């Protein structure tokens, strides 16, 4: 936890510093300046710069001290005061955490999706329902279409088998006819040419030929009927398939139109976006309520802290948790103590550096017996502004 650093600037002192710096720069611009003059003037600038830094650090030290005094004041409150302040701080901390959670929460939907839901908010529930129905209908039609495709393929295979069977029966009939004709010629040759009695064989052959012809006729007739039947089934299946394809194309066109309109890929995504849109609206209402609560409790806490005479009451609006939880207040106090120690150490180091620079100027003046009036006037001005005295003056006073 960090406190804001407050610095109060003394405008009159700053103006005096600037006037001395300008005088130093004017002397520094002399033609053919001596090295000793440059060194002394540079040291004077460093002294002024170091003094400015020391004053700023002292101001910061005083502010940190006042903050620590405020913590001691808040730690020694009457029980009823502490109870009221803790109650207000707890409400502020709760409202602030709620607001931060809203502001830092990742976006569930994009800004474009939010604007679309906002634009079609009234009709969105009906559109989600219609899109779901379209997707279910599309899936059902697609399933039926796949079933008809499979049935079509099966009928085509059966029809091809029927056509092949008819073709085979015709070929076999021709082969049997040729074979019967050959056998009849053979029997006639044997009877007429060789005088062999073939009448009994001829009758048996005619009986066999009649039976085979009947079987072949039945086979071919059955193949023809099967082919015609399968052709009718195939035509009917193709007709149903075309109807399904038309239904699928229409419903798909409707779904694509909805997807393009709402920039989604499915009804599930559209429903998710709309639910998140509604949740975001609820969270925004909660955020606005938290903002109102925060304003109220901030004013209430300021009214409670006002009579305590604190150095900075407003800073506790951002440190409300420290007013509620003792461990947070301990941490704040520790951080302030550490910062004040660091500032005190910087003041000590910068003060030693400024004194060292001033002593070096005295040494240079004594060793080189350098007492140019303009330089001495500048040194006196720097001593007066920075609250310094030369070693010579200190020895004279002693």
Residues 125 and 230 reside in one and the same domain: yes
Residues 167 and 72 reside in one and the same domain: no
Residues 124 and 271 reside in one and the same domain: yes
In a domain, 396, yes or no: no
Per residue in 101-121, pLDDT tens? 888 888 888 889 889 999 999
Residues 54 and 190 reside in one and the same domain: no
In a domain, 81, yes or no: no
Residues 345 and 240 reside in one and the same domain: no
Residues 178 and 267 reside in one and the same domain: yes
Residues 178 and 249 reside in one and the same domain: yes
Confidence bin at 16 (pLDDT 50/70/90): low
Residues 141 and 66 reside in one and the same domain: no
pLDDT at 254: 92
Q: Is 342 or 362 the better-scoring residue by pLDDT?
A: 342
Confidence bin at 350 (pLDDT 50/70/90): confident
pLDDT at 264: 92
Whether the per-residue pLDDT at 153 is higher than 90: the answer is no
In CATH, what number is assigned to the domain containing residue 275? 1.10.287
Per residue in 29-84, pLDDT tens? 444 445 666 767 777 777 778 788 888 888 999 999 999 999 999 988 888 888 99
Whether the per-residue pLDDT at 193 is higher than 70: the answer is no
Distance CA 298, CA 91 (A): 9
Per residue in 246-296, pLDDT tens? 999 999 999 999 999 999 999 999 999 999 999 999 988 998 998 899 999
The chain-wide mean pLDDT, for the chain, equals 79
In a domain, 187, yes or no: yes
Least confident of 83-87, 233-237, 299-303: 233-237
Provide mean pLDDT across the span 370-397: 57
In a domain, 112, yes or no: no
Residues 272 and 149 reside in one and the same domain: yes
Per residue in 282-301, pLDDT tens? 988 998 998 899 999 999 99
pLDDT at 212: 74
Tally of domains in the chain: 2
In a domain, 251, yes or no: yes
In a domain, 158, yes or no: yes
Domain containing 366 equals 20-76+325-374
Whether the per-residue pLDDT at 169 is higher than 80: the answer is no
pLDDT at 131: 93
């Amino acid at each position: 936890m960090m406190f804001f650093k407050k610095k109060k600037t003394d405008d009159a002192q700053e103006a005096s510093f600037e006037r001395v710096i300008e005088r130093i720069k004017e002397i520094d611009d002399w033609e053919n300046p001596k090295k000793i003059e440059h060194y002394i003037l540079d040291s004077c600038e460093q002294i002024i710069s170091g003094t400015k830094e020391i004053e700023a650090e002292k101001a910061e030290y005083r502010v940190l001290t006042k903050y620590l005094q405020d913590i001691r004041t808040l730690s020694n409150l009457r029980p009823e005061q502490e109870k009221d302040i803790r109650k207000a701080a707890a409400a502020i901390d709760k409202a602030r955490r709620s607001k931060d959670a809203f502001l830092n929460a990742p976006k569930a939907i994009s800004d474009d999706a939010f604007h679309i839901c906002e634009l079609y908010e009234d009709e969105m529930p009906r559109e989600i329902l219609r899109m779901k129905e379209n997707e279910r209908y599309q899936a059902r039609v697609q399933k039926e279409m796949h079933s008809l495709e499979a049935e079509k393929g099966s009928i085509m295979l059966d029809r091809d088998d029927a056509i092949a069977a008819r073709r085979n029966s015709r070929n076999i009939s021709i082969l049997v006819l040729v074979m019967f004709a050959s056998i009849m010629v053979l029997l006639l040759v044997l009877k007429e040419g060789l005088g062999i009695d073939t009448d009994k064989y001829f009758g048996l052959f005619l009986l066999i030929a009649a039976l085979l012809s009947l079987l072949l006729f039945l086979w071919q007739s059955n193949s023809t009927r099967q082919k015609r039947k399968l052709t009718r089934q195939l035509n009917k299946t193709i007709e149903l398939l075309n109807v399904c394809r038309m239904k699928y194309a229409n419903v798909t066109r409707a779904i694509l139109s909805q997807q393009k309109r709402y920039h989604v890929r499915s009804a599930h995504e559209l429903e998710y976006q709309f639910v998140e849109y509604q949740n975001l609206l609820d969270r925004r209402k909660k955020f606005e309520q938290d903002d109102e609560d925060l304003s109220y409790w901030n004013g209430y806490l300021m009214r409670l802290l006002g009579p305590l005479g604190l150095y900075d009451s407003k800073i506790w609006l951002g440190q409300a948790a420290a007013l509620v939880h003792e461990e947070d207040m301990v941490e704040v106090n520790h951080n302030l103590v550490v910062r004040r120690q660091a500032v005190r150490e910087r003041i000590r180091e910068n003060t030693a550096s400024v004194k060292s620079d001033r002593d070096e100027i005295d040494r240079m003046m004594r060793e080189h017996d350098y007492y140019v009036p303009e330089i001495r006037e500048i040194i006196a001005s720097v001593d007066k502004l920075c609250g310094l005295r030369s070693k010579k003056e200190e020895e004279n006073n002693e």
